[in-house]
Structure 1
Amino acid sequence: MVTKRDIRDEVSGKLESMSDEEWRGWSKEIAKHLISSSLWKRAEVLALTISRGKEVDTYFLIETAWKQGKKVVVPRTNFKNREMAFYELTSFDQLEDGPYNLKEPNLRRCSAIDPKKIELVIVPGLAFDKNGSRLGFGGGFYDRFLPQTKAQRIALAFPCQIVPLVPTEPHDCLIDHIINPDGFLS
């Protein structure tokens, strides 16, 4: 049986070997599908992460949301308590360096938001399957956060991040939709 560690190692290697040209092109295609979706158009409060490395680029999505008058909220993690809260971001200048090369909202410059007000959550992850199962980065932050909101959950994934089956545990939260460069997979 394939383990979570096996999937993490395989997908991480494929992401690292992706060319910058592929990364930019696929990120643009994924963004185009998301922005043209009714889920995006209806949502006024969007939760996104600040992408890093070879994750699907979220900077363009955040800028687009601001231009469209949407409220963008981004997470700040508390590694000691293994919790995450979201804060409104109105400028990239409100970000500061966090652990693990994360960019997080500065608490003195950003306001917290009630998770129940979030209408659409772009959920990061390393690998996904077409059943909506997600393999995160191992901290369990989203699996603890997602039950606090009724927002639609969307994952953005490059082709190499779609795997036949992600092993799950009872506490793992499913994703409602996955978007890859070809469009919605689910």
Structure 2
Amino acid sequence: MCELSDKIMDRLEQTELFQAASCIALYHAIPGEVQTAGFIEKWYQKKKLLLPLIVGDDLRLLLYEGPESLKPGPFGILEPKADGIEVPKNEIDLIIVPGVAFDKDKNRMGRGRGFYDRLLSTLNAPKVGICFGFQMIPQVPVEPLDKKMDYVITEDTIY
């Protein structure tokens, strides 16, 4: 999965959206998701990278300042420490979103807690879902509060 993750992140880096963005929100991956750790380490000194901190039922986006700024969160995901720097949401140029599955209409299936759907409803930045090709399905079931991606990137294609 590391090789496929690298292909996906390379494809993302080649987009105009990424190249123009100076402040990017993304995530620290859990097993089965596109791995982002190498990407984060590569870019955090060149661009502002924000990572989510789970607070109750919501996500706060905090500036990544290096590995020492992280701690294991409630789901075992590395997340920023609560005293991290929060960047105003209107400064975010791009948000990179994980998912269990996506479809060609850019619908996203999350893990069912609604963390990202609530967060995405507060952001105006372009939303890019990243996933492995095998996570693309014919049709994602859509709920009223689900947020559609602007783009979905796999190792082979950009939708």
Q: Do the structures match in fold with TM over 0.5?
A: yes
For the Cα contact (< 8 Å) 1:116–1:148, is it kept in 2?
Answer: no
- Number of the residue aligned with 1:4: none
Q: Does 1:73 align with 2:50?
A: yes
Whole-angstrom distance in 1 between the partners of 2:3 and 2:97:
20
For the Cα contact (< 8 Å) 1:116–1:150, is it kept in 2?
Answer: yes
Q: Does 1:30 align with 2:8?
A: yes
Given the two structures, how large is their TM-score scaled by the length of structure 1? 0.82
How many correspondences in the alignment? 159
Deviation, structure 1 residue 134: 0.4
Deviation, structure 1 residue 54: 2.1
For the Cα contact (< 8 Å) 2:44–2:64, is it kept in 1?
Answer: no
Greater C-alpha Rg: 1
Q: Does 1:64 align with 2:42?
A: yes
Q: Does 1:101 align with 2:79?
A: no
Whole-angstrom distance in 2 between the partners of 1:53 and 1:98:
15
Whole-angstrom distance in 1 between the partners of 2:131 and 2:21:
20
Q: Does 1:145 align with 2:122?
A: no
SS at match of 1:100: coil
For the Cα contact (< 8 Å) 1:143–1:171, is it kept in 2?
Answer: yes
Q: Does 1:123 align with 2:100?
A: no
Whole-angstrom distance in 2 between the partners of 1:64 and 1:139:
30
Given the two structures, how large is their TM-score scaled by the length of structure 2? 0.96
Unaligned runs of 5+ in 2: none
Aligned-pair identity in percent equals 32
Unaligned runs of 5+ in 1: 1-22
For the Cα contact (< 8 Å) 2:59–2:119, is it kept in 1?
Answer: yes
Deviation, structure 1 residue 95: 0.5
Whole-angstrom distance in 1 between the partners of 2:44 and 2:77:
21
SS at match of 1:164: coil
For residues 16-35 of structure 1, give each alpha carbon's deviation from its aligned partner in whole angstroms, at most 9, with x where no partner exists: xxxxxxx0111111011001
SS at match of 1:183: coil
Q: Indicate the RMSD between aligned Cα atoms, in angstroms.
A: 1.1
For the Cα contact (< 8 Å) 1:124–1:155, is it kept in 2?
Answer: yes
For residues 27-73 of structure 1, give each alpha carbon's deviation from its aligned partner in whole angstroms, at most 9, with x where no partner exists: 11101100111110000000010112121110122122224x10000
